[in-house]
Structure formats: C-alpha cells, structure tokens
Structure 1
Amino acid sequence: MSQLHWEDFTPGRAFEHGPRRLPRDEMIAFAAEFDPQPMHLDEAAARETMLGGLAASGWYVCCILMRMCVDAFLGQSASMGAPGVDEVKLLRPVRPDDELMFRATVLETRASKSRPDMGLVRFEFVMSDMQGRQAVVLITSLMIGRRQKGDAA
C-alpha cells in the first residue's frame, strides 16, 4: 500500500468518508461516561433545553470525526500527529441515528522550518448530514512526514 507523504497534500485536495450512522445507544453511552448533561442523556429533559431534543455531545461527534479522518486518509499517511486544533464549530445538533459524511480539504501546506523530515498541512474538516447541512467544522494542522528530507528553512 502506498503511503501518503507531505508532498501528496496539495491545496484543494479533498478526502471523503462515510456515511456513518451515529446510533442512539452509542451516543448516550458516550455521554454517560464523558459528557453527562441532560441534553445528551434524556429525551424528556433534552426537550426542555435550547436544543429541543436529544443531541449528541460535541465531543462524541469530534471523536467520530477523528475516526472517519483516519479511515479516509490519515491511516494511510505518514502522520506525525498534530500541534493542536485551531477551531471547532458545532453548527447544528446531531440527533440519534443521524448519518454523517466526512470531508477533509487541504487549505495550505508548508515545510517545517526546524524539522526537514516533515511538513505541516492545514485542513478544514467538515461533518455534514445527508442533506448536506454542516454539523461540525474543524480547522487544524497535521504534521506529515516528507518522502524526502527537504532543506530546513
């Protein structure tokens, strides 16, 4: 299997994965363990919140995003991790049994100034429902190994 390196990521290139269904029992189990708020656990209590019904924890949706990212391309890349996440926007509630699509678009790339064996790739990750409505937008840079060592800038 060929592995994706920094040189393979060019601005505009996109990777997609999905759909993936988010089962009610999985959403509630995650919330019970990691984000036990009423809007994520109990339908009746959730109806009384601004979300108007049971909704997935944003952290759960971000975990699903990460899994879909690995399945779409990251698992076949020379990934070296990430220095952090720049932005996460939760744009609409994700409901039990929703199906989401994942799309990663390369925004820009740059060679590392201090590590000639890697470069950075800035991405926009988007999770959308089957009607194309965005649920989550995440902006991050990933550190990706280079096929050939470049000159440190």
Structure 2
Amino acid sequence: MNNSVRDRLYLDDLYVGQRFTSASHLVDEAQIKAFAAQFDPQPFHTDEEGAKETLFKGLAASGWHTAAITMRLNVETGLPLAGGLVGAGGELNWPAPTRPGDILHVESEVVEVMPSRSKPDRGIATILSRTINQRGETVQILKAKLVVPRAPGR
C-alpha cells in the first residue's frame, strides 16, 4: 500500500469528498517513553506509576507523538500527493489520548481544492485527517492546508 511516485496525485486530480485511508501502526509503551524522553518529558508520558495520578489516569502518548505517527502514516500510505506533504497551516485537536497497545490508522478527506491565482503551478488542498485507534476512537483531528503542485502540461 506504499505511495509510489507514479501513483502521486496533483491538485488537478483532487476533488472535494475524495477519501484516503492509511495503513496502521501499533503504539507500544517503549515508543511512548522514548518519544517523550526526547521531546515531551512529562510524567504522564514517561512514568506509568506517576501517570496514574494525572488527568490521564495512566500512561498516554504525547500529542506530538500522535501527530508524528499521523505524519508518517500519511506520507507512506495515506496521502499520495505529488511534491510531498507540504504544510501551509492547519488546526490540530486531540479529543482522546493515545495509549500503549493502540493501533492507529488515518482516514483523510479532501474538503477544499483551491488553485493559486498568483502561482499557476500550484494550489492549496485542505485535508481533514482523523487518526483513529482500534476501538474506533478518534485520537487526533488535523485540518491541514497543503501546497500541492498542478499537473505539468494540464
């Protein structure tokens, strides 16, 4: 299910309502702690016992870890966009925590396609991506504006 270069989509190939689903990723305790130790060293991400006394009532992945997993899933198997996933802004929400043992996948939908008036070789695609665990719970919602090239010669 890898996004090969020949299967990449240009702005001209995208339409509102178009959907994409990524492969999945198993999140384990070691990944949560390693990411947190380097980038978000708070007790609810690094210490199971300490995490029990927090708002999360147990070990939870950093939201930034969930975002990084989402990015990797979208890059490798979720959004086959020509030129890569180049962000131009967005909104990010974490309605539920990611826990050890969660299996995440990303479901994305094109919500807007806007060719650029000043740069005819590109445009902006607004993509709504929901990162979902194996229980069907949404753990992250990302509404991203992505710069997508126009198809050459079209």
TM value normalised by structure 1: 0.91
* Mapped pair 1:137 → 2:141: yes
* Mapped pair 1:68 → 2:81: no
Task: Tell me the equivalent position of 1:23.
Answer: 28
Per-residue deviation, residues 41-81 of structure 1 (Å, max 9, x unmatched): 00010000010000000000000000011012445523371
* Mapped pair 1:37 → 2:39: no
Q: How do 1:57-136 and structure 2 match up within 5 A?
A: 57-74=62-79, 77-79=82-84, 81-85=86-90, 87-136=91-140
Partner of 1:82, secondary structure, is strand
For the aligned residue pairs, the C-alpha RMSD in angstroms reads 1.6
Task: Tell me the equivalent position of 2:151.
Answer: 147
Query: Using the alignment, how far apart are the partners of 1:58 and 1:80 within structure 2?
Result: 20
Unaligned runs of 5+ in 2: 1-5
Query: Using the alignment, how far apart are the partners of 1:131 and 1:73 within structure 2?
Result: 20
Query: Using the alignment, how far apart are the partners of 1:15 and 1:80 within structure 2?
Result: 14
Structure 1 residue 84 displacement after superposition: 1.9
% identical equivalent positions: 33
Unaligned runs of 5+ in 1: none
Alignment equivalent of 1:51, drawn from 46, 53, 56 = 56
The amino acid across from 1:88 in the alignment is L
Q: Does the aligned pair in 1 maintain the 2:24–2:73 contact within 8 Å?
A: no
Q: Call closer, same or farther: CA 1:73–1:94 in 2, change over 3 Å.
A: closer
